[in-house]
A and B are shown apart, each in its own frame.
Chain A
Protein backbone atom coordinates (compact mmCIF):
# COMPACT_ATOMS: atom_id res chain seq x y z
CA UNK A 1 0.00 0.00 0.00
CA UNK A 2 2.89 2.21 0.89
CA UNK A 3 4.15 2.26 -2.67
CA UNK A 4 0.74 2.90 -4.27
CA UNK A 5 1.25 6.63 -4.57
CA UNK A 6 4.68 6.02 -6.05
CA UNK A 7 3.08 3.97 -8.82
CA UNK A 8 0.55 6.73 -9.36
CA UNK A 9 3.38 9.25 -9.54
CA UNK A 10 5.28 7.15 -12.09
CA UNK A 11 2.16 6.80 -14.21
CA UNK A 12 1.34 10.51 -13.95
CA UNK A 13 4.89 11.52 -14.87
CA UNK A 14 4.94 9.26 -17.93
CA UNK A 15 1.54 10.50 -19.05
CA UNK A 16 2.62 14.10 -18.58
CA UNK A 17 5.80 13.54 -20.62
CA UNK A 18 3.89 11.86 -23.44
CA UNK A 19 1.23 14.56 -23.51
CA UNK A 20 3.81 17.33 -23.46
CA UNK A 21 5.11 16.00 -26.78
CA UNK A 22 1.98 14.90 -28.64
CA UNK A 23 -0.13 18.02 -28.07
CA UNK A 24 0.36 21.28 -29.96
CA UNK A 25 3.33 23.40 -28.87
CA UNK A 26 2.21 25.70 -26.04
CA UNK A 27 3.35 28.92 -27.69
CA UNK A 28 2.72 28.91 -31.41
CA UNK A 29 4.87 31.91 -32.34
CA UNK A 30 7.94 30.33 -30.65
CA UNK A 31 7.25 26.92 -32.05
CA UNK A 32 8.32 23.47 -30.96
CA UNK A 33 11.04 24.72 -28.59
CA UNK A 34 8.40 26.16 -26.29
CA UNK A 35 7.64 22.64 -25.05
CA UNK A 36 10.57 23.06 -22.67
CA UNK A 37 8.25 25.35 -20.76
CA UNK A 38 6.58 22.26 -19.22
CA UNK A 39 9.90 21.29 -17.61
CA UNK A 40 11.78 24.52 -17.15
CA UNK A 41 9.25 26.45 -15.09
CA UNK A 42 8.50 23.62 -12.61
CA UNK A 43 12.26 23.24 -12.08
CA UNK A 44 12.70 26.94 -11.41
CA UNK A 45 9.70 26.80 -9.08
CA UNK A 46 11.19 23.90 -7.09
CA UNK A 47 14.47 25.78 -6.92
CA UNK A 48 12.82 28.72 -5.17
CA UNK A 49 10.62 26.50 -2.96
CA UNK A 50 13.67 24.51 -1.83
CA UNK A 51 15.43 27.75 -1.02
CA UNK A 52 12.53 28.92 1.15
CA UNK A 53 12.29 25.53 2.88
CA UNK A 54 16.01 25.64 3.60
CA UNK A 55 15.69 29.10 5.14
CA UNK A 56 12.69 28.01 7.24
CA UNK A 57 14.56 25.02 8.64
CA UNK A 58 17.58 27.24 9.29
CA UNK A 59 15.39 29.58 11.33
CA UNK A 60 13.93 26.55 13.10
CA UNK A 61 17.42 25.35 13.93
CA UNK A 62 18.36 28.67 15.49
CA UNK A 63 15.34 28.30 17.78
CA UNK A 64 15.52 24.60 18.57
CA UNK A 65 19.30 23.97 18.34
CA UNK A 66 18.33 20.55 17.06
CA UNK A 67 20.93 19.38 14.55
CA UNK A 68 18.26 17.42 12.66
CA UNK A 69 16.73 20.73 11.58
CA UNK A 70 20.09 21.75 10.20
CA UNK A 71 20.31 18.45 8.30
CA UNK A 72 16.93 19.22 6.76
CA UNK A 73 18.09 22.69 5.75
CA UNK A 74 21.14 21.19 4.04
CA UNK A 75 19.08 18.52 2.28
CA UNK A 76 16.66 21.12 0.95
CA UNK A 77 19.55 23.29 -0.20
CA UNK A 78 21.24 20.36 -1.92
CA UNK A 79 18.11 19.43 -3.84
CA UNK A 80 17.43 23.07 -4.60
CA UNK A 81 20.93 23.43 -6.00
CA UNK A 82 20.35 20.46 -8.30
CA UNK A 83 17.05 21.85 -9.58
CA UNK A 84 18.65 25.27 -9.93
CA UNK A 85 21.30 23.81 -12.24
CA UNK A 86 18.62 21.98 -14.23
CA UNK A 87 16.56 25.15 -14.57
CA UNK A 88 19.60 27.16 -15.64
CA UNK A 89 20.57 24.59 -18.27
CA UNK A 90 17.08 24.20 -19.71
CA UNK A 91 16.60 27.97 -19.70
CA UNK A 92 19.92 28.43 -21.43
CA UNK A 93 19.04 25.90 -24.13
CA UNK A 94 15.73 27.67 -24.68
CA UNK A 95 17.54 31.02 -24.90
CA UNK A 96 19.93 29.62 -27.50
CA UNK A 97 17.08 28.36 -29.67
CA UNK A 98 14.90 31.45 -29.37
CA UNK A 99 17.33 34.35 -28.98
CA UNK A 100 20.44 32.87 -30.56
CA UNK A 101 22.78 32.88 -27.59
CA UNK A 102 23.06 30.79 -24.46
CA UNK A 103 23.27 33.71 -22.10
CA UNK A 104 21.76 37.19 -22.40
CA UNK A 105 21.79 38.62 -18.86
CA UNK A 106 18.14 39.40 -18.84
CA UNK A 107 16.78 40.03 -15.32
CA UNK A 108 15.54 36.47 -14.87
CA UNK A 109 18.82 34.94 -15.95
CA UNK A 110 20.59 37.28 -13.57
CA UNK A 111 18.41 36.26 -10.66
CA UNK A 112 18.84 32.52 -11.24
CA UNK A 113 22.58 33.05 -11.58
CA UNK A 114 22.67 34.81 -8.21
CA UNK A 115 20.61 32.00 -6.69
CA UNK A 116 23.21 29.53 -7.93
CA UNK A 117 25.96 31.67 -6.40
CA UNK A 118 24.13 31.82 -3.07
CA UNK A 119 23.79 28.04 -2.97
CA UNK A 120 27.45 27.62 -3.86
CA UNK A 121 28.50 30.12 -1.19
CA UNK A 122 26.35 28.31 1.37
CA UNK A 123 28.14 25.02 0.67
CA UNK A 124 31.54 26.76 0.64
CA UNK A 125 30.79 28.20 4.07
CA UNK A 126 29.80 24.80 5.42
CA UNK A 127 33.00 23.32 4.03
CA UNK A 128 35.11 25.84 5.92
CA UNK A 129 34.14 24.65 9.39
CA UNK A 130 34.68 21.36 11.18
CA UNK A 131 32.83 21.81 14.42
CA UNK A 132 29.29 20.61 13.79
CA UNK A 133 27.33 22.93 15.99
CA UNK A 134 29.17 26.07 14.96
CA UNK A 135 28.84 25.11 11.31
CA UNK A 136 25.10 24.63 11.65
CA UNK A 137 24.66 27.93 13.44
CA UNK A 138 26.69 30.11 11.07
CA UNK A 139 25.33 28.43 7.95
CA UNK A 140 21.79 28.99 9.23
CA UNK A 141 22.43 32.69 9.71
CA UNK A 142 23.89 32.97 6.23
CA UNK A 143 21.00 31.08 4.70
CA UNK A 144 18.49 33.44 6.31
CA UNK A 145 20.46 36.55 5.30
CA UNK A 146 20.65 35.30 1.73
CA UNK A 147 16.97 34.45 1.58
CA UNK A 148 16.15 38.01 2.60
CA UNK A 149 17.84 39.35 -0.52
CA UNK A 150 15.82 37.08 -2.81
CA UNK A 151 12.73 39.33 -2.88
CA UNK A 152 14.99 42.20 -3.97
CA UNK A 153 16.32 39.95 -6.70
CA UNK A 154 13.06 38.54 -7.96
CA UNK A 155 10.72 41.48 -7.60
CA UNK A 156 12.66 44.70 -7.32
CA UNK A 157 15.58 44.44 -9.74
CA UNK A 158 13.60 43.31 -12.81
CA UNK A 159 11.24 46.21 -12.22
CA UNK A 160 13.76 49.01 -11.93
CA UNK A 161 16.31 47.75 -14.41
CA UNK A 162 15.07 48.15 -17.94
CA UNK A 163 15.13 44.93 -19.90
CA UNK A 164 18.56 44.28 -21.31
CA UNK A 165 17.40 43.09 -24.67
CA UNK A 166 14.36 43.88 -26.79
CA UNK A 167 13.12 40.31 -27.10
CA UNK A 168 12.50 40.20 -23.39
CA UNK A 169 8.78 40.59 -23.96
CA UNK A 170 8.74 36.94 -25.04
CA UNK A 171 9.51 35.84 -21.53
CA UNK A 172 6.77 37.93 -20.04
CA UNK A 173 4.34 36.73 -22.63
CA UNK A 174 5.47 33.23 -21.92
CA UNK A 175 4.92 33.72 -18.22
CA UNK A 176 1.34 34.88 -18.49
CA UNK A 177 0.24 34.02 -21.98
CA UNK A 178 -3.36 32.91 -22.20
CA UNK A 179 -2.99 29.19 -21.81
CA UNK A 180 -5.40 26.97 -23.63
CA UNK A 181 -7.18 24.53 -21.28
CA UNK A 182 -5.05 21.71 -22.66
CA UNK A 183 -1.77 23.53 -22.04
CA UNK A 184 -2.90 24.64 -18.61
CA UNK A 185 -3.80 21.06 -17.71
CA UNK A 186 -0.35 19.72 -18.68
CA UNK A 187 1.49 22.63 -17.12
CA UNK A 188 -0.19 22.42 -13.74
CA UNK A 189 0.06 18.65 -13.60
CA UNK A 190 3.75 18.97 -14.37
CA UNK A 191 4.07 21.53 -11.58
CA UNK A 192 2.33 19.20 -9.11
CA UNK A 193 4.32 16.14 -10.23
CA UNK A 194 7.64 17.95 -9.87
CA UNK A 195 6.63 19.21 -6.43
CA UNK A 196 5.67 15.70 -5.30
CA UNK A 197 8.96 14.31 -6.59
CA UNK A 198 10.82 17.01 -4.74
CA UNK A 199 8.96 16.25 -1.50
CA UNK A 200 9.67 12.54 -1.93
CA UNK A 201 13.39 13.10 -2.48
CA UNK A 202 13.48 15.50 0.42
CA UNK A 203 11.84 12.98 2.75
CA UNK A 204 14.23 10.23 1.66
CA UNK A 205 17.20 12.49 2.29
CA UNK A 206 15.85 13.41 5.70
CA UNK A 207 15.42 9.77 6.63
CA UNK A 208 18.99 9.02 5.60
CA UNK A 209 20.41 11.89 7.63
CA UNK A 210 18.22 10.94 10.58
CA UNK A 211 19.52 7.35 10.49
CA UNK A 212 23.09 8.56 10.15
CA UNK A 213 22.73 10.74 13.19
CA UNK A 214 21.02 7.92 15.08
CA UNK A 215 23.87 5.56 14.21
CA UNK A 216 26.46 8.08 15.30
CA UNK A 217 24.79 8.57 18.65
CA UNK A 218 24.58 4.83 19.20
CA UNK A 219 28.28 4.43 18.51
CA UNK A 220 29.24 7.31 20.75
Chain B
Protein backbone atom coordinates (compact mmCIF):
# COMPACT_ATOMS: atom_id res chain seq x y z
CA UNK B 1 0.00 0.00 0.00
CA UNK B 2 2.71 2.45 1.01
CA UNK B 3 4.98 1.50 -1.87
CA UNK B 4 2.09 1.90 -4.31
CA UNK B 5 1.29 5.31 -2.88
CA UNK B 6 4.91 6.35 -3.20
CA UNK B 7 5.10 5.16 -6.79
CA UNK B 8 1.97 7.21 -7.61
CA UNK B 9 3.57 10.18 -5.92
CA UNK B 10 6.75 9.73 -7.95
CA UNK B 11 4.75 9.39 -11.15
CA UNK B 12 2.99 12.69 -10.42
CA UNK B 13 6.28 14.27 -9.53
CA UNK B 14 7.86 13.25 -12.82
CA UNK B 15 4.78 14.32 -14.76
CA UNK B 16 4.87 17.67 -12.98
CA UNK B 17 8.42 18.26 -14.14
CA UNK B 18 7.42 17.79 -17.75
CA UNK B 19 4.95 20.66 -17.70
CA UNK B 20 5.55 22.36 -14.35
CA UNK B 21 1.93 23.50 -14.47
CA UNK B 22 1.00 23.19 -10.80
CA UNK B 23 4.22 24.58 -9.42
CA UNK B 24 4.32 27.46 -11.89
CA UNK B 25 0.76 28.55 -11.35
CA UNK B 26 0.92 28.32 -7.56
CA UNK B 27 4.24 30.21 -7.47
CA UNK B 28 3.14 32.97 -9.82
CA UNK B 29 -0.15 33.34 -8.00
CA UNK B 30 1.61 33.51 -4.63
CA UNK B 31 4.29 35.94 -5.75
CA UNK B 32 1.79 38.20 -7.55
CA UNK B 33 -0.44 38.55 -4.51
CA UNK B 34 2.57 39.03 -2.28
CA UNK B 35 3.86 41.79 -4.54
CA UNK B 36 0.50 43.53 -4.57
CA UNK B 37 0.32 43.35 -0.79
CA UNK B 38 3.81 44.64 -0.12
CA UNK B 39 3.68 47.21 -2.93
CA UNK B 40 0.46 48.81 -1.75
CA UNK B 41 1.43 48.75 1.89
CA UNK B 42 4.82 50.30 1.17
CA UNK B 43 6.78 51.30 4.22
CA UNK B 44 3.93 51.17 6.70
CA UNK B 45 4.53 48.93 9.68
CA UNK B 46 1.89 46.22 9.89
CA UNK B 47 0.39 45.16 13.19
CA UNK B 48 0.89 41.41 13.80
CA UNK B 49 -2.78 40.63 13.39
CA UNK B 50 -2.89 42.18 9.94
CA UNK B 51 0.28 40.55 8.68
CA UNK B 52 -0.84 37.12 9.94
CA UNK B 53 -4.17 37.54 8.13
CA UNK B 54 -2.52 38.68 4.90
CA UNK B 55 -0.05 35.83 5.03
CA UNK B 56 -2.75 33.17 5.26
CA UNK B 57 -4.90 34.84 2.60
CA UNK B 58 -1.96 34.65 0.21
CA UNK B 59 -1.31 31.00 1.06
CA UNK B 60 -4.98 29.97 0.93
CA UNK B 61 -5.75 31.47 -2.45
CA UNK B 62 -2.48 30.28 -3.97
CA UNK B 63 -3.37 26.80 -2.76
CA UNK B 64 -6.84 27.14 -4.25
CA UNK B 65 -5.33 28.02 -7.61
CA UNK B 66 -3.58 24.72 -8.15
CA UNK B 67 -4.17 21.98 -5.58
CA UNK B 68 -7.08 20.59 -7.61
CA UNK B 69 -4.76 20.15 -10.57
CA UNK B 70 -3.46 16.79 -9.40
CA UNK B 71 -6.84 15.16 -10.02
CA UNK B 72 -8.07 17.39 -12.85
CA UNK B 73 -5.01 16.41 -14.87
CA UNK B 74 -5.85 12.71 -14.58
CA UNK B 75 -9.41 13.29 -15.77
CA UNK B 76 -8.49 15.63 -18.60
CA UNK B 77 -5.72 13.54 -20.05
CA UNK B 78 -7.90 10.47 -19.73
CA UNK B 79 -5.45 8.57 -17.56
CA UNK B 80 -7.81 8.35 -14.58
CA UNK B 81 -9.38 5.19 -15.95
CA UNK B 82 -6.04 3.44 -16.24
CA UNK B 83 -5.18 4.40 -12.70
CA UNK B 84 -8.54 3.09 -11.52
CA UNK B 85 -7.87 -0.26 -13.13
CA UNK B 86 -4.36 -0.43 -11.83
CA UNK B 87 -4.70 0.21 -8.08
CA UNK B 88 -7.17 0.42 -5.25
CA UNK B 89 -8.44 3.80 -4.12
CA UNK B 90 -6.43 4.30 -0.92
CA UNK B 91 -2.90 4.37 -2.39
CA UNK B 92 -4.13 6.86 -5.01
CA UNK B 93 -5.45 9.14 -2.29
CA UNK B 94 -2.27 8.90 -0.29
CA UNK B 95 -0.06 9.51 -3.32
CA UNK B 96 -2.03 12.59 -4.34
CA UNK B 97 -1.96 13.83 -0.77
CA UNK B 98 1.82 13.54 -0.73
CA UNK B 99 2.06 15.40 -4.02
CA UNK B 100 -0.13 18.28 -2.82
CA UNK B 101 1.90 18.35 0.37
CA UNK B 102 5.09 18.76 -1.64
CA UNK B 103 3.65 21.51 -3.84
CA UNK B 104 2.43 23.48 -0.85
CA UNK B 105 5.71 22.90 0.97
CA UNK B 106 7.70 24.35 -1.91
CA UNK B 107 5.31 27.31 -2.06
CA UNK B 108 5.72 28.04 1.64
CA UNK B 109 9.47 27.62 1.41
CA UNK B 110 9.66 30.49 -1.08
CA UNK B 111 6.77 32.73 -0.04
CA UNK B 112 7.43 32.77 3.69
CA UNK B 113 10.94 34.33 3.67
CA UNK B 114 9.85 36.78 0.98
CA UNK B 115 6.80 37.76 2.99
CA UNK B 116 8.81 38.31 6.15
CA UNK B 117 11.37 40.28 4.16
CA UNK B 118 8.84 42.52 2.42
CA UNK B 119 6.54 43.27 5.31
CA UNK B 120 9.35 43.39 7.84
CA UNK B 121 7.19 42.43 10.80
CA UNK B 122 8.93 39.41 12.05
CA UNK B 123 9.51 38.90 15.73
CA UNK B 124 9.11 35.78 17.79
CA UNK B 125 10.24 32.22 17.81
CA UNK B 126 11.34 30.98 14.40
CA UNK B 127 11.07 27.32 15.37
CA UNK B 128 7.53 27.73 16.65
CA UNK B 129 6.55 29.58 13.48
CA UNK B 130 7.94 26.84 11.23
CA UNK B 131 6.12 24.26 13.30
CA UNK B 132 2.80 26.07 12.78
CA UNK B 133 3.50 26.35 9.06
CA UNK B 134 4.29 22.65 8.86
CA UNK B 135 1.03 21.74 10.61
CA UNK B 136 -0.74 24.26 8.40
CA UNK B 137 0.46 22.50 5.25
CA UNK B 138 -0.77 19.13 6.51
CA UNK B 139 -4.09 20.67 7.57
CA UNK B 140 -4.69 22.37 4.24
CA UNK B 141 -3.81 19.26 2.24
CA UNK B 142 -5.83 16.91 4.40
CA UNK B 143 -9.01 18.91 3.80
CA UNK B 144 -8.51 19.73 0.13
CA UNK B 145 -7.31 16.47 -1.40
CA UNK B 146 -10.69 14.72 -1.35
CA UNK B 147 -12.45 17.91 -2.47
CA UNK B 148 -10.02 18.10 -5.40
CA UNK B 149 -11.07 14.57 -6.32
CA UNK B 150 -14.76 15.54 -6.13
CA UNK B 151 -14.23 18.69 -8.18
CA UNK B 152 -12.27 16.87 -10.89
CA UNK B 153 -15.36 14.82 -11.71
CA UNK B 154 -17.71 17.78 -12.19
CA UNK B 155 -18.16 20.00 -15.22
CA UNK B 156 -17.13 23.36 -13.69
CA UNK B 157 -13.84 22.48 -12.11
CA UNK B 158 -11.97 25.66 -11.27
CA UNK B 159 -14.55 27.81 -9.53
CA UNK B 160 -16.12 24.98 -7.60
CA UNK B 161 -12.91 24.01 -5.83
CA UNK B 162 -12.69 27.25 -3.85
CA UNK B 163 -16.43 27.27 -3.16
CA UNK B 164 -16.39 23.75 -1.74
CA UNK B 165 -13.16 24.13 0.19
CA UNK B 166 -13.85 27.45 1.80
CA UNK B 167 -16.54 26.45 4.33
CA UNK B 168 -14.57 23.38 5.39
CA UNK B 169 -11.35 25.33 5.80
CA UNK B 170 -12.71 28.45 7.43
CA UNK B 171 -12.43 27.23 11.05
CA UNK B 172 -8.93 26.01 10.22
CA UNK B 173 -7.91 29.35 8.71
CA UNK B 174 -9.24 31.25 11.72
CA UNK B 175 -7.10 29.12 14.02
CA UNK B 176 -4.02 29.38 11.78
CA UNK B 177 -4.30 33.16 11.64
CA UNK B 178 -4.71 33.35 15.39
CA UNK B 179 -1.75 31.06 16.04
CA UNK B 180 0.48 33.00 13.63
CA UNK B 181 -0.53 36.26 15.24
CA UNK B 182 0.38 34.85 18.64
CA UNK B 183 3.82 33.85 17.36
CA UNK B 184 4.37 37.34 15.97
CA UNK B 185 3.45 38.67 19.41
CA UNK B 186 6.19 36.45 20.87
CA UNK B 187 4.02 33.95 22.67
CA UNK B 188 5.48 30.80 24.17
CA UNK B 189 4.62 27.22 23.36
CA UNK B 190 2.25 26.83 26.31
CA UNK B 191 0.20 29.87 25.27
CA UNK B 192 -0.23 28.25 21.88
CA UNK B 193 -1.23 24.80 23.09
CA UNK B 194 -5.01 25.10 22.48
CA UNK B 195 -4.27 26.06 18.87
CA UNK B 196 -1.88 23.14 18.52
CA UNK B 197 -4.51 20.73 19.79
CA UNK B 198 -6.82 21.95 17.04
CA UNK B 199 -4.13 21.90 14.36
CA UNK B 200 -3.12 18.33 15.22
CA UNK B 201 -6.61 16.89 15.62
CA UNK B 202 -8.09 18.49 12.49
CA UNK B 203 -5.98 16.57 9.93
CA UNK B 204 -6.38 13.31 11.85
CA UNK B 205 -10.16 13.58 11.60
CA UNK B 206 -10.07 14.78 8.00
CA UNK B 207 -7.63 12.14 6.78
CA UNK B 208 -9.52 9.33 8.48
CA UNK B 209 -12.80 10.44 6.91
CA UNK B 210 -11.16 10.97 3.51
CA UNK B 211 -9.60 7.53 3.62
CA UNK B 212 -12.98 5.95 4.27
CA UNK B 213 -14.88 8.02 1.72
CA UNK B 214 -12.36 8.30 -1.08
CA UNK B 215 -13.38 5.09 -2.84
CA UNK B 216 -16.88 6.49 -3.33
CA UNK B 217 -15.44 9.51 -5.10
CA UNK B 218 -12.87 7.64 -7.11
CA UNK B 219 -14.97 4.74 -8.40
CA UNK B 220 -18.42 5.02 -9.95
In the complex the two chains form, is A141's CB within 8 Å of B167's CB? no
Q: Interface size (A, Cβ < 8 Å)?
A: 31
In angstroms, Cα B41 to Cα A2, docked, is: 68
In the complex the two chains form, is A161's CB within 8 Å of B174's CB? yes
Task: Answer yes or no: A118 CB below 8 A from chain B CBs.
Answer: yes
In angstroms, Cα B178 to Cα A121, docked, is: 25
In the complex the two chains form, is B216's CB within 8 Å of A145's CB? no
For A153, the chain B residues whose CB sits under 8 A away are 171
A103 to chain B, nearest CB (A): 16
In the complex the two chains form, is B171's CB within 8 Å of A142's CB? no
Write out, one digit per residue, whether chain B residues 147-188 have a CB within 8 A of any chain A CB (1) or not (0).
100100111100010011011101110110010000000000
Q: Interface size (B, Cβ < 8 Å)?
A: 32
For B146, the chain A residues whose CB sits under 8 A away are 141, 145
Task: Answer yes or no: A27 CB below 8 A from chain B CBs.
Answer: no
A209 to chain B, nearest CB (A): 22
Task: Answer yes or no: A114 CB below 8 A from chain B CBs.
Answer: yes
Task: Answer yes or no: B47 CB below 8 A from chain A CBs.
Answer: no
For A120, the chain B residues whose CB sits under 8 A away are 163
In the complex the two chains form, is A114's CB within 8 Å of B167's CB? yes
Task: Answer yes or no: B117 CB below 8 A from chain A CBs.
Answer: no
For B166, the chain A residues whose CB sits under 8 A away are 117, 121
In angstroms, Cα B174 to Cα A125, docked, is: 24
In the complex the two chains form, is B198's CB within 8 Å of A117's CB? no
In the complex the two chains form, is B194's CB within 8 Å of A121's CB? no
For A138, the chain B residues whose CB sits under 8 A away are 150, 153-154, 217
For B81, the chain A residues whose CB sits under 8 A away are none
Interface hit among A76-84, A128-136, A211-219:
A128-136
In angstroms, Cα B168 to Cα A120, docked, is: 12
For B172, the chain A residues whose CB sits under 8 A away are 152
Interface SS of chain A: helix, strand, loop or mixed? Answer: helix
In angstroms, Cα B206 to Cα A159, docked, is: 20
In angstroms, Cα B154 to Cα A134, docked, is: 9
In the complex the two chains form, is A142's CB within 8 Å of B150's CB? yes
In the complex the two chains form, is A117's CB within 8 Å of B213's CB? no
Write out, one digit per residue, whether chain A residues 139-153 have a CB within 8 A of any chain B CB (1) or not (0).
011101110110011
Task: Answer yes or no: A137 CB below 8 A from chain B CBs.
Answer: yes
Instruction: Select B178's contact among A128, A141, A161, beta carbons within 8 Å.
Output: A161
Instruction: Select A125's contact among B150, B178, B220, beta carbons within 8 Å.
Output: B150
Which A residue's beta carbon lies closest to that of B194?
A160
In angstroms, Cα B124 to Cα A211, docked, is: 64
In the complex the two chains form, is B216's CB within 8 Å of A148's CB? no
In the complex the two chains form, is B216's CB within 8 Å of A128's CB? no
Name 5 extra pairs, CB < 8 A, besides A62-B216, A128-B155.
A110-B170, A118-B168, A134-B220, A145-B210, A153-B171
Interface residues, chain A, CB within 8 Å of chain B?
Answer: 62, 110, 114, 117-118, 120-121, 124-125, 128-130, 133-134, 137-138, 140-142, 144-146, 148-149, 152-153, 156-157, 159-161
Interface residues, chain B, CB within 8 Å of chain A?
Answer: 146-147, 150, 153-156, 160, 163-164, 166-168, 170-172, 174-175, 178, 194-195, 197-198, 202, 205-206, 209-210, 213, 216-217, 220
